[in-house]
Amino acid sequence: MFKKIAFVVLIAATTLSATGQSTIESTEKVRRGRPDIPGTFLIDFGLNFPSNDTIGFNTGVWGSRTLNLYYMLDKRIGQSKFSVHPGGGFGLERYKFNNNRTLGYVPGPNSPFDTLRMIPGPVGTKKSQLITNYIDALVEVRFSTNPNDPARSFKVALGFKAGVLFDSFTKLKYSEDGETKKFKSKQDFNLNPFRYGATLRIGAGNFNLFGYYSLSPIFTDKKGPDQAELTNFTVGLSLAGF
């Protein structure tokens, strides 16, 4: 599903960008290089790097990825080279475990199943993932070398992002008796229902490098795997669709 969504949004963004450029070339506009619309559709493709894997939360780089789908408004500050960009959208995260483990509850001191641990997956496990999906709100302050021509401008933006968790589950793919099977466990896994952190974007035109550093733990305080506090750092590429 993640690959299908990523493919669809990439094609859509590319089409919108090409269409916008064609429209600009055929009409005279003050803001060259993009249609004269109030905001920007932004797509982020990134890789997740959890801060602490000593508890077995050991993730593979290429399978632990982010897809952000945001719409941001453009508010220039007077005639300066600075602008403010509030926005919101969806943040779709996944963490791929490379040690054939998964999240599970084991007996604890207070009830039969109340302690979250990294536990072995079924015999024959081929892929194990944790998926967390958020509704995000964000704001960025941007500096542009040429704000009247965004398509040819170098930009640096600092911002803040906060989100609410709306979906979470683990996925297992394993082989049993020669048959490939898939299993999904839809639970909250003691995940933090809120997240927040700092963002950075650097780039030119419609393409940027971006980073997100989480200031909130992935799991609720002292309720993550073995009570560890895991945070996340994401880095990747951004594409402005129009």
Mean of pLDDT values over 128-132: 96
Spatial separation of the C-alpha atoms in residues 239 and 106, rounded to whole Å: 43
Query: For 14-68, how does the pLDDT look when each residue is reduced to its tens digit (9 = 90+)?
Result: 444 444 444 334 333 444 555 567 788 999 999 999 986 566 788 888 889 999 9
Q: Residue 236: which of 68, 105, 94, 115 has the closest Cα?
A: 68
Contact 209, 237 (CB under 8 A): yes
Query: For 172-201, how does the pLDDT look when each residue is reduced to its tens digit (9 = 90+)?
Result: 999 988 889 999 999 999 999 999 999 999
Spatial separation of the C-alpha atoms in residues 195 and 163, rounded to whole Å: 5
Six-digit token string for 81: 């080279």
Supply angle C-alpha 142, 148, 152, rounded to 5.
Answer: 80
Bridge partners, 50 (sequence order): 232
